Structure 1
Amino acid sequence: MTFKLGHEIKAILFDKDGTLVDFDRTWAATNRKGALIAADGDAALADVLLEACGMDPVTGKTRADSMFAAANASEIAAHMVAHGSPFEAEDLMARLDKTFVEGAESPWPICDLKALMHSLAGAGMALGIASSDGEASIRRTVEVLELSSEIGFIAGYDSGHGPKPQAGMVLAFAAHLGLEPSQVAMVGDNGHDMEMAHAAAAGAAIGVLSGTGTRQTLEPLADILIGSVADLPALIAAR
C-alpha cells in the first residue's frame, strides 16, 4: 500500500476509542461514573465536570477533540480538579484509571474487527493500537474483543512513549517492527491522532468519521478520510 510521497505502508497503528470501538456506546456510562466519582457524589457537580470534559450530560454525546475524546486520565483528572473536583489530581487520576479499566469490559466494536484484522494481516500489514487510554484498559479491551493474536503492539498514555499528540507511540511501533515511521499508517478519529502521525513523519494519517471527530475537524489534518475502519481493506486494494 502506497500513500503520500510514495511511502510503502507495511503497518497500521490504530487509535482505539471512536476508531475500533464506538465511542459513545462504549464510554458514555463510564464517563458518567468517572464524573460522579470526581464530584464525590455531587450530581450537579458531576454534570459540570462532564460538560467541562466534553460530554453532554443529557445526550451522552462527546465533542470532537474534547478532553474525553482526546486526553488521557492524567489530563482529564487535572481538568476536573480545575473545574471543581475536590480531589488531588494524582488521587483522582488513579481513581479514573481504575474506572476506565472497568469500562473496558463492555466495548462496542465498530465492525467485525476479527474479520477486519484477518483481512489486513492477509494483506501483509502488521497491526498495533495506540490510545490515550491506559495500557491495562487497552489490553483488557483487546482480550474482550478476542484480538490478542492479531494485535502485536499496544501503547497507552502510561506505556512510557509519551502521550498523544507527541510522536513517541508511532516511533515505538515502528522501532518494534524494525520499520521506518514512513512505513506506518496511523488511523484515528481525532486531531491528536493526526497530529501524532505528522509529528512522527508517518507514511499516512488516515482519519475515520466513526468517532468524535468530524469532517470539519479532521479534513485539515488527515491525508485521507474514510467512513470507518471497515473501509480500510478497500482502501488498501485501491492503492
Structure 2
Amino acid sequence: MQVQAILFDKDGTLLDFTGMWGFWTDCVLNDFREQLVIRGLEMDEADLPQIWGTFHDEQGRMNGYDVRGPLAMGTMDEVYAVLTWHGYRAGLSWAEAKMIVRACLAQAEEAMEAHRPAHPLPGVREFLEQSRDQGLKMGVVTADETASANKHLQWMGLDAYFDIVIGTDLVDRGKPFPDMLLLACERLSVQAQQVMVIGDTDGDMEMARAAGAGYKIGIGESGKIQLADRTIQTFHELLSGGSGR
C-alpha cells in the first residue's frame, strides 16, 4: 500500500539527542549531586550509566546514550521515578528524594529555556521539505510530553512541517504500545498500513509493528535497532530515493 503519511520520533530522530538531552542530564545530575552533598550524602560516579542509560566522559558530562535505556525510551515520569529511586538508595527518604528531583528538573527546564540546545540532525530539514512537496502528511509521536515536543520543534523552526504532534500525555500507554500511532492515524485520517515510521529505538519499531504500520525505518547504527525494515545513518540516504520503500 502506498505511503500516505510519515510519523517521526522526536529525540534522536529529528533532533540531536546527546546535544539536547546531554545538556539537560548534566544540569539535573550536577544539581542532584550538589543536593546530596549538602545533606552529607554522595552518589557513586560508577552508578551514572545505570541511572538513565547514559555514557559520560572523565568529567562526568554525558557524551552518549543507550538506545535501549530509560532516557531514550522512557517517559518523563519514568525518568523522574528512576532518579528518585537512586536518591532513596543514596540515603534520602522517598519523600525527600521526590521533592529534590522535582526541584532539579525544574531548574534544568529553566536552563533549557535559556540555552535552547535543540538542533536538527543532518538532512532532517531537507527530508521534511521533500516529503511536504510530495504531499505526504507528517506527524511526531514522542515519549516526551506534547507541550515540550511542540516547544522543541519551534526552537528548531520545524513545527510548521507537522500536521500533528502526539506526546505520551495524550494516550494511556506510551511506546512501545501502539496507542500513539493509532491516535495519530485517527487524527490524520489514514490507515496504519499507509504509514511509515522513522525512529531511533526498537521502542519506536515495536510501536509501529504493534499498530500494523506499513514500513519501519530506524536511524542510527544498524546493530542497535533490530526491528526496522531498513536502517539509515542520516536522512540524506532518503533524499535521492524519496520516501518510498
TM class by smaller structure:
0.7 to 0.9
Q: For structure 1, which runs of at least 5 residues remain unmatched after alignment?
A: 1-6
Match for residue 223 of structure 2 among 213, 216, 220: 216
How does 1:54-203 map onto structure 2 within 5 Å?
54-58=53-57, 60-85=63-88, 86=92, 88=95, 92=101, 96=105, 99=108, 103=112, 105-160=116-171, 162-203=173-214
Inter-partner Cα distance in structure 2 for 1:95 and 1:19: 26
The C-alpha deviation readout for 1:85-122, integer Å capped at 9, x for no partner, is 54558754686377458537221211254332121111
Inter-partner Cα distance in structure 1 for 2:44 and 2:11: 22
- Say which SS state the counterpart of residue 106 (structure 1) adopts: coil
Q: For structure 2, which runs of at least 5 residues remain unmatched after alignment?
A: none
Match for residue 17 of structure 1 among 6, 11, 32: 11
Superposed displacement of residue 51, structure 1: 3.5
- Say which SS state the counterpart of residue 240 (structure 2) adopts: helix
Q: Is the 8 A contact 2:130 2:242 kept in 1?
A: no
Return the TM-score normalized by structure 2. Answer: 0.82
Task: Count how many residue pairs are aligned between Structure 1 and Structure 2.
Answer: 228
Inter-partner Cα distance in structure 2 for 1:90 and 1:130: 28
State which drifts further: 160-169 or 84-93.
Answer: 84-93
Q: Decide which structure has the larger Cα Rg and report it.
A: 2
1:229 corresponds in structure 2 to 235
Supply the RMSD in Å over aligned alpha carbons. Answer: 2.6
Superposed displacement of residue 38, structure 1: 4.4
Aligned-pair identity (%): 25
Q: Is the 8 A contact 1:101 1:140 kept in 2?
A: no
